[in-house]
């Protein structure tokens, strides 16, 4: 049996602000931004090259968690220094790497 993780709901305080951060500053592509019912909004964003997306939204139980409560997600890149330079150029506060083999998280990239 094959299983794939394809979507991670991320509770946020402000959907528009969070969407702008992930799309404009981190370079995630916006695949979905819909309002399928009164009071419901779903925004799906995907990191470049990823098969797994995050979703932000309102009006559904999946988004009822405490904003900033999702922890430990990993964005994996080839070339941490190049990735860091690109994010810094976009205005993201990113801690310097710890050498070639460093695999730690980017410092508090976003807490909606």
Determine the 3-state secondary structure of 41 from DSSP: strand
> What are the backbone dihedrals phi and psi of residue 109, each rounded to the nearest 5 degrees, phi first?
-65, -40
Q: Is the pLDDT of residue 25 over 50?
A: yes
Q: What is the pTM of this model?
A: 0.78
| Domain spans of the chain, in order of start | 7-65+73-89
pLDDT of residue 98: 57
Q: What is the DSSP string of 43-100?
A: EEEE-TT-S-EEEEEESSGGG-SPTT---------S-HHHHHHHHHHTT---PPP-ST
pLDDT of residue 34: 97
Q: Which residues contact 16 (CB under 8 A, 6 or more apart)?
A: none
Of residues 26, 66, 23, 61, the one with CA closest to residue 43: 23
The CATH fold assigned to 7-65+73-89 is 2,3-Dihydroxybiphenyl 1,2-Dioxygenase; domain 1 (3.10.180)
- How many Cβ atoms sit within 10 Å of the Cβ of residue 94? 18
Percent of the chain at pLDDT > 70 equals 86
What kind and span of H or E run contains 18? Answer: helix 15-20
The DSSP secondary-structure symbol of 38 reads: T
């Amino acid at each position: 049996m094959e299983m794939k993780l394809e979507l991670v709901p991320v509770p946020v305080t402000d959907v528009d602000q969070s969407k702008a951060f992930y799309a404009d500053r981190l370079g995630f592509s916006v695949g979905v931004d819909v309002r399928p019912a009164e009071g419901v909004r779903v925004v799906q964003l995907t990191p470049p090259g990823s098969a797994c997306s995050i979703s932000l939204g309102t009006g559904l139980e999946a988004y009822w968690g405490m904003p900033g409560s999702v922890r430990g997600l990993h964005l994996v890149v080839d070339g941490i220094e190049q990735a860091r330079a690109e994010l810094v150029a976009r205005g993201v506060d990113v801690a310097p790497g710890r050498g070639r083999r460093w695999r730690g998280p980017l410092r508090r990239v976003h807490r909606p």
